[in-house]
Amino acid sequence: MATTAVTQSRSSIAFSGTVYWAWNFFGGLAILFALWWLAIHVATLNPALSHFASFGPGPAFKEIGNLWSNGLIPKALQTSGARLGAGLGIAIAIGVPIGILIGLSRRFRELSNSPFQLMRMISPLSWEPIAVIVFAGWNQAIIFLIAVGAVWPVMFSTAAGLSKVDPAWFKVARNLGAKPWHVVTQIIVPAIAFDVLTGIRLALGVGWIVLVPSEFLGVTSGFGYTIQDARESLEYEKLMAMLLVIGAVGYVLDSICLALIKRYSWHRG
């Protein structure tokens, strides 16, 4: 009886939490779209601004179905996703090892602080003219721009996580005969998982922001290209539809990162 009561209590709490989340989620979106509709409605009261009606939520949602059926959204998801994944993968492959080195070596941390901080403050898009010259194609240039912007959150989050690890753990591991690889895989990686995943989440946000403007020029596919094409052809409902899709995809990616943080870190409840 006691076990059944506890199970029912937990189920009730979980259901209440789901209802609370759904209320906030859909309630917040409802407020956003209501404000969006109101802004367009007020603007179109002026006959000179009647063309702004194409920017409204109704035409945008209708256009999403058309863009999906003609394959434009799936193609953009594939090409932009590939660029984002490649750039983020490079950022993780570079940022995590260097972050571990920063956290372990005081000398390296002191020497690298000023150049890393200087380079971090350079906008990733500022590298665009150089990337176009260095790389043979725009795909490689876009991947480079994403990696340049995404590497810093991964690197510094990794270093910050490692700085919180008790040095006594390493001494105990060495006394027990642990090899350097064992120290990395059994102590460092589990201890900094939360911080690394948090850095990846931040890097994903940066990469997603860099991706779209990087696709404005030089390529014929992706979210940025589609927005640029809609602007030039004056298809404003298409433009707004793609903005909605970009926001939705970014939200889903961020939610996946958040779920991984909760699942694979020591901080999960």
67 vs 60: CA distance, rounded Å: 10
Architecture of domain 56-263: Orthogonal Bundle (1.10)
pLDDT for 157-180, tens place per residue? 999 888 877 777 777 777 777 777
pLDDT for 204-224, tens place per residue? 999 999 999 999 877 888 898
Q: Which distant-in-sequence residues (6+ apart) come within 8 Å of 219 by Cβ?
A: 79, 138, 139, 142, 225
Q: Which of 143, 128, 17 is nearest to 80 (CA)?
A: 143
Domain boundary assignment for the chain: 1-54, 56-263
pLDDT for 88-119, tens place per residue? 999 999 999 999 889 888 899 889 889 999 99
What is the pLDDT, as a whole number, of residue 14?
A: 60
What is the pLDDT, as a whole number, of residue 247?
A: 92
Instruction: Specify the pTM.
Output: 0.83
216 vs 239: CA distance, rounded Å: 13
